[in-house]
Amino acid sequence: MAENTNDVLHVEGGKPLNGTIKVRGAKNFVSKAMVAALLAPGRSVLRNVPEIRDVHVVSDLLRLHGVSVDVDGANGVVTIDASHVQLADVADVDTLSGSSRIPILFSGPLVHRLGEAFIPALGGCAIGGRPIDFHLETLRKLGATVDKEHEDGIHITAPDGLHGAKIHLPYPSVGATEQTLLAAVLAEGKTELSGAAIEPEIMDLVAVLQKMGAVISVDVDRTFRIEGVRELKGFTHTSLTDRIEAASWAAAALATHGDIFVKGATQPEMMTFLNVFRKVGGEFDVTDTGIRFWHPGGDLKPVAIETDVHPGFMTDWQQPLVVALTQANGLSIVHETVYENRFGFTKPLVQMGATIQLYRECLGSLPCRFQQRNYKHSAVIFGPTPLTGRDIDVPDLRGGFSHLIAALAAKGPSNVQGISLIDRGYADFRGKLAALGADFD
């Protein structure tokens, strides 16, 4: 293992996590709302912002484009003034390429404000293909010219401006839906987006855009209708809570036989998760200020899960829950239909003592894009199996937190290497672990 002591967490597992933690705004919304501020000259204020690395990456990208950004991490407030937007230096933007996939969403706002945009090579977690073709095709349909041959990235222009269009997504991609919304709100004419993603984070982005002056309607058949307006104004908005982080701590309570009150967690966005949590044998109590999750004792029950786009079971929920399922009494099945390579994180779990078998077949009933393709996208977990601590390398954001849960649930010491990846989506997770009584350094 690499010897970077600042990137290693030494965990002594086998101890229940008990206590109260607070979860702030959703990583998958906050960064997009910050990009939306680019659409309007003037000041925008975003509240309930988590102290995560992605917020700082987007802040740096905005500053490179001449935007004033003030981050008050202690109070969770980000203030953005996009009165003066300018083209960033290609070399400066390139230094941030690979840090995030957010830059592609700068395309529409920058084209509206400056007439052109430059997008560097994109990074993000290695959990399967997340092609930007949907993004680029959307921009082309709205009238943009996309130069993919640029040596340092992608150059996007719109000589005649952006114009409304009919756009259909063959799969309800979250990123492509966000791209269309951010580009269409100032495009001339009307845009119809069918086959769109309707995740709670997207609906919160729609709320922000409406506050800015956009005209957006949503039909029950996953169709957005956007009427382009001539100008937008700044916004003040409080982010919805991060349902992924809340569910991750819930899974940690289950795996460690703990009792965690997640302050700030809200029920509506988590109903699908809560149903599964209850079927597994976990208990929860919804209050006005958060949700308490705990292991009531006795055996956990096996379940069959299929991940899906909203309102289905979220793909980001399955990884931490799989750790808890290694302790369920019987055979659990997880069919992953969103990302084809999301089960890479299970190898260290097997090395810790879990019994997990991966399959290329679709072990479920949902229509799946990966059917008859060479991807191990179904998992069978047999439990309960005791976990034993070991050295672990973090593969990606959600898989990394899942490995951390496994280390906390396992008997004996573990060294979790690469924890800086977890900082991307879990604010102050070390402080929260300390509040829950975890034994680590």
Q: Which sequence positions are flagged as catalytic?
A: 125
Burial of 247 (0-12, 13-18, 19+ CB in 10 A): buried
CA atoms within a 13 Å half-sphere pointing along the CA-CB vector of 113: 28
Question: Per the annotation, does 48 bind a ligand?
Answer: no
Q: Can the peptide bond before residue 311 be classed as cis, meaning omega within 30 degrees of 0? A: yes
CB atoms within 10 A of CB 168: 11
Q: Give the integer Cα–Cα distance in Å for 58 and 32.
A: 9
Question: Per the annotation, does 432 bind a ligand?
Answer: no
From 262, 413, 414, 252, select the one nearest 319 (Cα to Cα).
252
Question: Per the annotation, does 316 bind a ligand?
Answer: yes
How many angstroms separate the Cα of 46 from the Cα of each of 31, 70, 84, 195, 234? 10, 11, 19, 29, 10
Question: Per the annotation, does 308 bind a ligand?
Answer: no
Q: Write the single-letter amino acid at 359.
A: Y
Q: Write the single-letter amino acid at 64.
A: L
Sequence-distant (6+) residues with CB within 8 A of 334 are: 304, 305, 306, 307, 318, 322, 325, 378, 379, 381
End-to-end Cα spacing for the chain:
17
Q: Write the single-letter amino acid at 417.
A: Q
Four-CA torsion 72, 76, 82, 83, nearest 10 degrees? -60
Residue position matching structure tokens 């995030």: 100
Sheet holding 259-263, edge to edge: 18-22, 259-263, 290-294, 283-286
Question: Per the annotation, does 130 bind a ligand?
Answer: no
Q: What is the DSSP letter of 374?
A: S
Query: Binding site: residue ranges?
Result: 27-28, 101, 316, 338
Query: Binding site for UDP-N-acetyl-alpha-D-glucosamine: residue ranges?
Result: 101, 316, 338
Query: Binding site for phosphoenolpyruvate: residue ranges?
Result: 27-28
